[in-house]
A and B are shown apart, each in its own frame.
Chain A
Amino acid sequence: MRYLLRRVAVLLVTAWVAVTVNFALPRLMPGDPASNMMARYGGQLSPRALDALRIDFGLDTHQSLPGQYFSYLGQILTGNLGMSYTYFPATVSSMIRQALPWTLGMVGFATILAFLFGIGLGMVAAWRRGSAGWHRNSRLDTALVPTGVMLSAMPPFWLAMMLVYFISYKLGWFPIGGGIKPGLSKSSSAGLVDIARHSVLPAFTLTLVAMGGWILLMRNSMLTVLNDDFVKFARAKGLPNRSIAYRYAARNAILPIFTQFAMALGVVVGGQVFIEIVYSYPGIGYLLLTAVYNQDYPLMQGIFLIFTLTLLLANFLVEMLYVFIDPRVRVEAGK
């Protein structure tokens, strides 16, 4: 219980820091969002309408900085992220709410897939290298390491463009971009099939790009564990190889990687930005790009905040999960 409370406290403090950073960033930067907005509506609005707009956008310059800060905190607590410049009069939170399910579905699926494949391949590579003949080189390991390195050095947007060109455009197997055929209802079965068809290539790209890191991490973690005494003991006892690999070594090798999976989940929510851009996938990464191109600062800030909070939450959940999967943490937490 104490453990849980401490974790929640850390979560809240970091969330507060993240929100504050988000408040400070645009104010530290050169250029002032208020005058940007003036330029956008330049000359077409009466001064009174402009004043009203500024207050709507949270750019009330009559307020002092601490005053702005506290009203910002209050707004965020009530879930109000302000108005979008570009999609005015839509609010930032409504724009994010529209885009989020797309990203969560496609990216969540691809991340878990990449994790499972990467962990599996890394495990087998390490095991083959260290197994039976002890430190015998295996062809699989020799091939998998450069593959993993190459996958993690792949520019995601470039891979996406190549796949669009050769698979969608030349072969016509999948749609060129977008999330769903215009006019189809998202809840109809034909709509769902179409969404799936649009998501195959983005998800495939993301899985490939994200997998490389997992292969390398798991392989190295597993090799380290294979040097441990308890593995040698299991060997000496004459346990079958398969059971040493999967029931003893792999379970311990996954533990340190799990922390990074949490980071990856959060990072991936942002890391797919480039992939969404190339596929014009209507998710949150694509929305971020629209915000950037239109200098839509409230929307940018809102999206950044969502990314940060997702990452925090993912970390928190994994730490909670740790209590269940690692008995050592459980003992510590019980204290």
Chain B
Amino acid sequence: MSPRALLANRRAAVGASILGFFALVALLAPLIAPYSPSDTNSTPMLPMSAKHLLGTTTNGQDIFSQLVWGTRTSLSVGLLTGTMICLVQLVMGVFSGYVGGKADTTLSSVTNVFLVLPTLPLLIVLAAYLQGGSLLVLVGVITITGWAWGARVLRAQAIALRDRPFVEAARISGESRWHIVLAHIVPNMLGIMVANFFGAALFAVLAEAGLEFIGLGDINSVTWGTMLYWAQNSEAMLQGMWVWLLAPGLCILLLGTSLGLLNFAVDEIANPNLRRD
């Protein structure tokens, strides 16, 4: 799977462009946003205008600036959680499948338990016990609830690779278990792992927004999820301030779609059965 193969795939190209756009906005947030996102000095409830592109909230914050700064949090939560989930899956899936034996029995029964715990309620209950809290708490909670399914898939892949001659050769030449996993197994299932990463990031973006929407995040931070929380609690709809609701949701949808497209496209490139040629 080369970068060129990715760009040749139209879905991957669209996904990567949207993701790139959001990454740029996140990086340049201080330059793009005309106001501070928490600044409450503007007149409340202004409609869309040249001065306030998307109007202002009931507290007099500039909605467009909040949206721009929110990109930072959503994107970093998504990518960070995606990475964390991949790391957990590396241990619970790839390593477990490769070593086999008692370690595998233990690790995969833990995976099986997590598979039957209902994801969303677990997410809500955990976040509720931890009483909201910082973004890092959310990242932790989402990681705990989101890794099991992918770990099972990766474990099956690792088992399939375990007895292949090149792995056997590495074993005989005395390489350590983790070295074999990282240098020989992982490169041969990179496609699935990358697809998994994007899938996990998508899950994280949606989960973060959902938890924040019901008030289980840090409601004083500026993210797309908390924007929706404040909009809902200020009865934005009944006051006709639909842009306040529409904009953050649309951003979540767009970022989610880009991650979903990348997930799908990488899967397509890595899996010969789905290939187009």
Interface on A for B, CB 8 Å cutoff? 14, 17-18, 21, 25-26, 29-31, 135, 137, 145-146, 149-150, 152-159, 161-162, 164-165, 169, 216, 220, 223-224, 227, 263, 266-267, 269-271, 273-274, 277, 288-289, 292-293, 295, 300-301, 303-304, 307-308, 310-312, 315
Contact = CB atoms under 8 A, between A and B. Distances in A.
Given A150-B260, A155-B209, A223-B274, A315 B246 contact: no
B270 to A, nearest CB: 12
Contacts of A21: 113, 117
B120 interface: yes
B244 to A, nearest CB: 11
11 contacts: A21-B113, A29-B129, A31-B131, A149-B260, A152-B202, A224-B274, A263-B115, A289-B214, A304-B121, A310-B118, A311-B116
Interface string B4-30: 000000010010000000000000000
A274 B124 CA distance: 10
Contacts of A312: 116
B276 A165 contact: no
Contacts of B122: 304
A269 B249 contact: no
Contacts of A227: 273
Nearest to B206: A155
Contact of B245 (A150, A161, A304): A161
B156 to A, nearest CB: 12
What are the 4 A-B residue pairs with the smallest beta carbon separation, nearest first? Answer: A153-B256, A158-B249, A29-B129, A149-B260
Interface string B65-97: 000000000000000000000000000000000
Given A29-B130, A155-B206, A315-B116, A273 B124 contact: yes
A271 to B, nearest CB: 5
A251 to B, nearest CB: 18
Interface in B233-277: 237-238, 242, 245-246, 248-249, 252-253, 255-257, 259-261, 264, 267, 271, 273-274, 276-277
Nearest to B245: A161
B116 A292 contact: no
Interface size class of B (residues with CB under 8 A): 35 or more
Interface string B192-226: 00000000001000100110011110000000000
A100 to B, nearest CB: 14
Given A157-B228, A158-B252, A292-B214, 8 more contacts: A17-B113, A18-B116, A149-B260, A165-B237, A266-B116, A273-B120, A273-B121, A273-B124
User: Chain B contact residues: over half helix, strand or loop, or mixed?
Assistant: helix
A308 B131 contact: no
A258 to B, nearest CB: 16
Contacts of B117: 18, 21, 308, 311
A162 B236 CA distance: 12
A284 B111 CA distance: 27
Nearest to B259: A153
Interface string B106-146: 00000011011111111011101111000000000000000
A274 B210 contact: yes
A153 B124 contact: no
A162 B245 CA distance: 8
Given A18-B116, A150-B253, A135 B216 contact: no
Nearest to B258: A153
A211 to B, nearest CB: 14
Contacts of B121: 270, 273, 288, 303-304, 307
A102 B4 CA distance: 51
